[in-house]
Amino acid sequence: MQTINELVLDENNIAFHPMMGNSYQLNDIGNKIIVLLKQHKSKEEIIETLSENYDVPKNDLFIDISDFISKLKIYGLA
């Protein structure tokens, strides 16, 4: 995920890709997922981390994170 590592995140949950010139508005969870991906965490590690901080079933997290990563691929970020 080389492109993920190039994203710059700000305190307003905006992700900016300097080489592409694109900005993306994230919510708090999306921002945390990007941070974890930049740390080279696997999908399973991200699910575990988020399940420790949010009262959401792991199956729901799996679906939501899988969907988020699919969208990153659509935008050419993963």
pLDDT of residue 39: 96
Domain of 26? 2-74
**Cα–Cα distance for residue pair 72/78, rounded to 1 Å:** 5
Q: What is the CATH number of the domain that holds 47?
A: 1.10.10.10
Q: How many domains does the chain have?
A: 1
Q: What is the pTM of this model?
A: 0.89
Q: Does the structure show a pLDDT above 60 at 1?
A: no
Q: In what order do the strands lie in the sheet with 14-17?
A: 8-9, 14-17, 22-25
pLDDT of residue 61: 96
pLDDT digits (tens, 9 = 90+) for 7-45: 999 999 999 999 889 999 999 999 999 999 999 999 999
Residues in the chain: 78
